[in-house]
Amino acid sequence: MLRSRRRTPRVLAAAVASGALTLSAAPAASFAVSSGSKPGARTTAERVAPYTTKTPISRGTGGAVTTVDPEATRVGLRVLERGGNAVDAAVAAAAALGVTEPFSAGIGGGGYFVHYNARTGKIRTIDGRETAPESMPRTAFQDGNGATRPFDDLVTSGVSIGVPGTLATWEAAADRWGTRSLAKLLRPAARLAERGFVVDETYALQTEENQPRFEAFTTTPEVFLPGGEVPAVGSLFRNPDLARTYRQIARRGAGWFYGGALGREITAVVQSPPKNPETTLPVPAGYMRPRDLAEYEVIFRKPTRVSYRGYEVYGMRPSSSGGTTVGEALNILETFDLSEMSVVDALHHYLEASALAFADRAEHLGDPAYTPVPVRRLLSQEFADERACELDPDEAATKPVLPGDIRTADGTCDLARGAGAIPRSDTEGRETTNLTVADRWGNVVEYTLTIEATGGSGLAVPGRGFLLNNELTDFSTTWVADDPNRLEGGKRPRSSMSPTIVLRGGEPFLALGSPGGSTIITTVLQTIVNRIDLGMGLRRAVAAPRATQGNVTDVTAEQAFVDRFGGPLGALGHTFVVGEAGTSAEDIGALTAIEFRGRNRLVAAAEPTRRGGGSALVVNDR
């Protein structure tokens, strides 16, 4: 099992360690926030008041925190104000997101953590992705007749629940790079869960969309549908069960989750979901056993790295496909001078490069412990140069395009391949969450975490206040022998999470990440193009309308993108589909980012409107 704070966290023996950051955490005066104000010194009564102000852009010094939620941002900022470092603040903010964003993240899920160590100048990552139970058969997604279950039947189930990695990630990050104990970092979130947060339109919408799924279980409505109803916008939502769970983890350590009583409770409901007898959903049972939790390990990995226009772009290695796919697309775009193009032509190149990179993602990306992943070749400039030959500046290719041949890539053009690929299934959920943190010493954290679909599996652990993930739906639902993302026991499903840190001259320039399933990759990629190639300031780069091309027939786009660019891009052969208005599918991504301006100056950015808008705050206003 995972050990408690200040003992060595369990990681794979082959994991690569970076230098530890040891900073004294001098105590600082406590402060609090009143609703509708920026953090600062407040009275005791105001200290417990909800904080609802959403600040999409802040400039200043001394560190910054940006998340999709003002309460979580405030929690992280308090840690920085009190002398904690970026890792401390990131873990505390993530725990708070488990309270205020319970349908997107929490200790029932997993994620990827990227850390820049200012003392050593090194970037290292933690793979905290969920794993399939060891005993899970490759036929788990099939019915009794051998047919693949409908995807909607798998989403709300025990069979889709992977072994969670989030709590192990928090413990590993705090032990390796932090200055505070995990127990201390959980306290603000526990207080938040007990006091409650103000329900906004996004939270109410997500609850409403998931109500039939939540009602498939007997446990979930008790927490997330108080009185059997969707919480009203403006009401105060409390989760005392989660507050108690956080406090028990603080006292007993993460081992209580991975090898103790809580772990046994988790596996019991996975194997025998508390199904509501009135539901029409099948709710198939899962395969997780206590041993799967006890043997779970996070993995410290080296990041991916590519050069782009003089910048160094670092991201996540597999099991995430984010670093390789963003990196390959940037390498393809490196062969074109986007800054000299019209915005329409630059966007055309962005969409086409994305499709090429996604073709190679489907062909090669999976858990490297189970399938060879040619990361070095996928990120070689020679391979990208060859792929760039297939990008027609004047016409969109017929989708899906074929993957490239990494075995023979030599940087020369071979245009004989054309279109005709058979796309593999990609069912990754779009509701995740992301946070970005920087501290006064120059350390940076980019962290993406999730429970997969909005509401995860829909299953709440009885009396514990959190939802379990349905990450195993990220495996290909149809088992094919040559598919690198096929289902196997013990395996991590392929992810698109793309926490990214960009350096310039060896120093941080930009850190960014987003939720959005497979659109995470394109959200991060488009934002980098907006900032570096199109010369947008960070605020505009984040707010600009988005479109995503994952090597499928139609470009998925926001309505504002189609309104502005649909005509001229349509003339180049692109066709568009827009997410349904008034649903959580309307927006693409929910990015957070920090830009570093030198002399310790920071610009922190969050979404101004997507998913209701985010909150970006700095320690010291400029």
Active site residues: 432
Rg (C-alpha) for the chain, rounded Å, is 23
Contact 131, 490 (CB under 8 A): yes
Q: Is 93 in contact with 76 (CB distance < 8 Å)?
A: yes
Scanning the structure block, which residue is given the tokens 């589909």? 577
Alpha carbon distance, N-terminus to C-terminus of the chain: 46
Closest to 316 (Cα-Cα) out of 333, 304, 329:
304
Q: Got the DSSP string for 179-212?
A: SS-HHHHHHHHHHHHHH-EE--HHHHHHHHHHHH
Two tokens at 81?
A: 């104000």
Q: Does residue 148 contact residue 509 with C-beta atoms inside 8 Å?
A: no
Using CA atoms, how far apart are residues 186 and 190, in angstroms rounded to an integer? 6
Dihedral angle sign, alpha carbons of residues 105, 106, 107, 113: positive
Pairing of strands 110-117, 444-450: antiparallel
| H or E, element range at 128 | strand 122-128
- Name the nearest CA neighbour of 401 among 346, 360, 345: 360
- What is the number of alpha carbons within 13 Å of residue 219 lying toward its C-beta? 21
Q: Which backbone phi and psi does 403 adopt, to 5 degrees? A: -70, 160
Tell whether the torsion through CA atoms of 424, 430, 432 and 433 is positive or negative.
positive
